[in-house]
Amino acid sequence: MDWITDPEEDVLTHSAAAFATGLDPAVSGRRWFRDTERNDIQGELVRAGWPPRPSYTPRSSGNKASRRVGSVLSSTLALVTSLVLNENNVGSSEGAPEDPENEVDDFPVMWAAPGTHARTLPWQLDPARRLKGYTTDLVITSRRLLFVGSELGLLEHADVLCELPLDVVSEVRHMRYSKLGADVRLTFSDRSWVRLFTGALSSAERLEQMHGGTVRMLPANALTAGQQQEAARFCAAMREKAPYPPTYAMLPSGTVLMEVRSPSASAAGCFDMAVNLMDETGERTGPQPGDPSVP
């Protein structure tokens, strides 16, 4: 990866990352940028260099009903697609709102006072502002949290858009009431936060688990010889469909979870996830008691 210049810096995990989109009928397809008084700060962001985009307003009660029907149909289609593709989100549910103030009545994807960490994130994370086909990813290394972007969708040739020290992230929360259940909310040490769509349920789960200490992400060079051999075999079998490098998580049982994401052929911005569980020797194994559920 061109942007890793220190040989002692290891990539631990990566996922798609874009400002999320509302799911509830009143806010479906919309997002807002707010200060801590719930004022719209889009004008401030544009003055700071962000490209402009149309402003959104919450839908009226009459429009909510029609959007609710569309939302149900879309959710059903997404679930059917997931089942057909055997994606990582099989059997998942979007659930119910956990934070109605910010998921039903309003849908801020940035909550930030002037000068806070959230306002340093790049405008390219907003799908409404960037060029079609441009992709953005969140990357966590042993030293940094980065947001990178690419016109080709290739992580290794992406440009660094923003980087932050790891210790500025105080909380990672999986927000289940979202498209495919794939949103996370990153809260920074100054109490500003952003809500991001990660493209896959397991990506959102893994980011929360990593920050909470449930799993420990491993660089590829931390695998045993047997695990490296099995990982190479697994990647070779799906070489044509997986342009993203694998990630590895050490589960509580000691089992290593290998995950390889690839763009979904049926849903733009979403990802399929191939998984492989390995014991210490590299032998394939199944789920173990006490480990997080794995599709």
79 half-sphere exposure, CB direction, 13 A CA radius: 12
Q: Are the C-beta atoms of residues 102 and 175 closer than 8 Å to each other?
A: no
Q: What is the residue type of 116?
A: T
Beta bridge partners of 187: 171, 193
The rounded distance, in Å, linking the Cα atoms of 221 and 205 is 23
Using DSSP's 3-state secondary structure scheme, residue 123 falls into helix
The rounded distance, in Å, linking the Cα atoms of 157 and 260 is 18
Q: Are the C-beta atoms of residues 271 and 253 closer than 8 Å to each other?
A: no
Series of mean pLDDT values for 10-residue runs along the chain (295 residues): 82 97 94 97 96 82 47 43 38 74 97 98 97 95 96 88 96 97 98 98 97 97 98 88 89 97 89 96 95 86
Name the residue among 244, 261, 237 with its Cα closest to residue 89.
261
Q: What are the E-state strand segments in the chain?
A: 11-16, 18-19, 32-34, 108-111, 135-141, 144-150, 159-165, 169-175, 183-188, 193-197, 216-218, 247-250, 256-263, 271-278
CB atoms < 10 A from the CB of 293, how many? 8
pLDDT of residue 60: 62
Angle ∠(153,82,106) on CA atoms, nearest 5 = 75
Q: Please give the structure tokens belonging to residue 26.
A: 């009143």
Q: Please give the structure tokens belonging to residue 125.
A: 């994370």
The rounded distance, in Å, linking the Cα atoms of 64 and 193 is 27
Q: Are the C-beta atoms of residues 172 and 140 closer than 8 Å to each other?
A: no
pLDDT of residue 6: 83
pLDDT of residue 90: 36
Sign of CA dihedral 131, 200, 164, 50: positive
